Amino acid sequence: MKKLSLYLILFCCSVAVRAQDLNARVQILTPKIQTTNKRIFQTLETAMREFLNGRKWAQDPIKLEERITCNFILNVTAWDGNSNFSGELQVQSQRPIYNSSYTTTLLSTNDKDFDFTYTEGQTIDYTDQNFQNNLSAVMAYYAYIIVGLDYDSFSKFGGSPYFTQALNIVTNAQSASFKGWKAFDSNTNRYWLAENLNNKIYTNLRAFIYDYHRTGLDAMAENSAQGRKVISGILPSLVGLDRQRIGAMWPTLFFSAKSDELVNIFNFAEVADKGQALNILTIADPANGLKYQKLSY
């Protein structure tokens, strides 16, 4: 009987480990909140971390060492002293580069419309079928976006099922009163990010993400020149991105995450490749044009 109990415990532990697709670090900041009792923020931080790390988000089994590293930083800007919170949520995710200690950023965004309710000790409930509360919906939304981007970087268009899940959360939230879910709330919100990632207009950018990471960055540890050559060859596909379209949020986030990295990659390129990269990146991403001018030195 004791052996049976031990096996059951070990089995449950192994299931719990396999369920962890994310290695999410959660931090809650409260510089604007005047209170001496911070316990509710500590329990909220723990609840958010357990929700993100304790659920199965990916369709495939993910080993403990393969979990997707991500950061959720919630800056609480208002609290009514009870269960109503307002804040800004910074979400970042990283991907390791093959055979190196380097990690590259896949997502870095700041969600400024994050209002939610939470009661101390509350279980954070979530289902894909309907909208239950804004706290779990927002976290599940970003969990699917993070998993989708990670999959896209390892297999071409591998993230599609997860971007569909994120869009489903957006659809379920249309009847909710919380901001960030509707097209008219803002040109840069949850609606537009999910829309962009599911829109065929940005298929080329998603294909670029796979080639850039899997055949470019992943090759650079063993042969930096070869990896750089691959990236140089696929750069022209970025010129055709439609940056003028209303709600073109995903291209903006992509270049925000990658502009410094691209400069570092081509800093060591041949003069001709440097010049080509400078011209293409300046056209594709004029907002970061000053950064790319470093390639002209």
Mean pLDDT of 149-165: 98
pLDDT in tens, 3-60: 434 333 433 444 444 458 999 999 999 999 998 788 999 999 999 999 999 999 999 9
pLDDT in tens, 97-121: 999 999 999 999 999 999 999 999 8
pLDDT in tens, 239-291: 988 766 777 899 999 999 999 999 999 998 999 999 999 999 999 999 999 99
Say if strands 68-79 and 84-96 run parallel, antiparallel, or are unpaired: antiparallel
pLDDT in tens, 195-210: 999 999 999 999 999 9
Under 8 Å between Cβ of 100 and 54: no
Residue 256 has a pLDDT of 95
pTM across the whole model: 0.92
Residue 19 has a pLDDT of 58
Residue 244 has a pLDDT of 67
